[in-house]
Each structure stands twice: as C-alpha cells, then as structure tokens.
Amino acid sequence: MTHTQKRIIINKIVMTLSTLSALIGIGFLFWILAILIFNGMDALSWTIFSQEGAPPGYEESGLKHALIGQLMIVGVATLFGVPLGILAGTYLSEYGQKSHLAETIRDISDIMMSAPSIVIGAFVYAIVVTPMGHFSGWAGSIALIIILLPIILRTTDDMLQLVPSTLREAAFALGAPKYKVIMQVVYRGAKAGILTGILLGVARVAGETAPLLFTSFNDNFLSTDMTDPMASLTVTMYNYATSPYEDWQKIGWAAAFILSMFILSLNIIGRLLLFKKKGR
C-alpha cells in the first residue's frame, strides 16, 4: 500500500467519524427539541399568559408574573448593558487599539465571558443583596449586566476592527472629526455585526437561572417593583419542573417551551443577520 493510499484511507475514516459525531449531536438536539415541543405545546393555554401563579391543584394558574418579571429584569439589563458594551468596545477599537490598557481589558473580558454565571450571582449577592438586606429585581439585572457586558464589548471591538481603515482615512481626509467618523462611517459599516452580537448576548442572559437564584430570588405573584424580590421565567420554570405536583410540572414545561422558542428565535435572527452581512 502506497503512502497516498494510506492518506486516502485515513482521510475517509476521519471524515466518517466526524460525520457520525455531527449526526449524533444533531440527533440529540432534535430529540430534545421534539420532547420540549411535544410537552410544551400540550401545556400551553391562554391561562398560562393571563393568570399568575397559584397553589398546586388550582386550574387558574399561569406564568403572567414570571413573564412580566423576566421582561423587566432582562429589559433593564439590556438597557444598561448594551450601551455600556458598545461604548467600551468603541474605546478598545478606535482609541485604545493595541495599547497595554486595551489589551488588558480584552483579556479580562475574555475571562469574564467564560466565568460560571453562578459565580457572578454569588458576587452580586455579596455586594448588592447582602448590604440591601433582601433580594431584588435590580440585583438580578446587575448580575445579567455583568454577564452581558463582556459579550457586547468583545463583539463590538471585533466588528469595528473589521471595518477597513481606508474608510476612516477617507473620512478624515474630507475633514470629518473623529466622533463623526465613528458615528457615520465605522458604526454603519459594522452595524449588522454589532446587532448580531446584541441579539446573541441578550439570548444568553435571557436563559440564565443560577445568578437570579442569588439575586432576584423569585415570587409566585406579580410584582413590578424592582426593589423587591421578583419572579423570573427561568427560576419559575426550575421551581415548577422540580416540584412533586403534576400540574406545576406541566406549567414548567410550558415555561421551558416559551423560553426556548424565544432564545431560539433570537439566535436564528442573529445568525441570519450575520450570514446576510457575509453575503454582501
């Protein structure tokens, strides 16, 4: 057997194993989605969206409190985390560039993105919840901001660096100040990538449970006061799915379906925007 024939055989073996591994992974993914859709769709009803939580055995029990709480906590985190992340990423790309400070911030951001979310939850519990003396929706939002910030920062930094420097130089040659070059040239060239990063970042924090257990805790009734413990869809899903009551477990499946479809939709939209940008 020649060396070329050996390489061809090895290549076929590796390709076969890689294909089988991919198919196994995809198979598990579709298996999970199928079970989630089957159980979640069966549990969905108008009551899920119109009623608050109720004790086990009550038919008029829903997720209204958790849906509103989730929207408020994630909404506040997005409202503060996205602008801060974009501004920080802009500094790294346009001002800090390859400086020692900028490289240090990039390294810290990479570490923060890989940090377990439960550690961030414990950190916020120590610096916010303990001094306040109680759980709160604000503490939950702060934990999600800490998770979201490095994702937006690194995405913005990377996307802005992909904008050709010749576009900046052309704008400077026309006499445009730096802030106008960034706003009207650089941001426009990177808007699809930045928007994709925002969607993926929001999808990431919207599915977090561990940090909210330490911060916003949970409440089985509707509350819009961010200074008090607040219900969230993720924690409610966890509590209901692990309860011994069959009706609560059914509502837990509905919560899992709603949350999964929301996160899946954000990820698909983000990927479509990214592919659209690459296609151009």
Handedness of CA 50, 32, 216, 248 (dihedral sign): positive
131 lies in the same domain as 148: yes
At residue 109's C-alpha, the angle toward residues 108 and 114, to 5°, is: 100
Residue 29 belongs to domain spanning: 3-43
- pLDDT tens per residue across span 157-213: 999 999 998 988 898 888 889 989 999 999 988 888 898 889 889 989 999 999 999
Residue 278: which pLDDT band, with cuts at 50, 70 and 90? low
pLDDT digits (tens, 9 = 90+) for 210-264: 999 999 988 888 889 999 999 999 999 999 988 888 889 999 999 999 999 988 8
Does one domain contain both 20 and 66? no
- How sure is the predictor about 14, in pLDDT bands with cuts at 50, 70 and 90? very high
Q: Do 215 and 241 contact (CB within 8 A), yes or no?
A: no
For residues 215 and 157, state if they share a domain. yes
d(CA 135, CA 154): 30
Residue 53, SS3 per DSSP: coil
Domain count, the chain: 2
- pLDDT at position 77 over 90: yes
Mean pLDDT computed over every residue of the chain:
90
CA end-to-end distance (rounded Å), the chain: 47
19 and 111 share one domain: no
* Pair (63, 189) in one structural domain: yes
- The label of the residue with tokens 């899903």 reads 237
Domain co-membership, 91 together with 181: yes
Residue tagged 């690459």 (tokens): 278
Which CATH number goes with the domain that contains 236? 1.10.3720.10
Residues 17 and 105 in one domain: no
- Looking at the fold, whether 275 and 193 belong to one and the same domain comes out as yes
Query: pLDDT category, 45, cuts 50, 70, 90?
Result: confident
Phi first, then psi: what are they for 208, rounded to 5°?
Answer: -80, 135
104 and 78 together in one domain: yes
Residues 99 and 121 in one domain: yes
Q: Are residues 162 and 225 in the same domain?
A: yes
Same domain, 93 and 185: yes
Task: Tell me how far apart the alpha carbons of residues 143 and 77 are, in angstroms, rounded to a whole number.
Answer: 8
Burial grade of 234 (CB within 10 A; 0-12, 13-18, 19 or more): buried
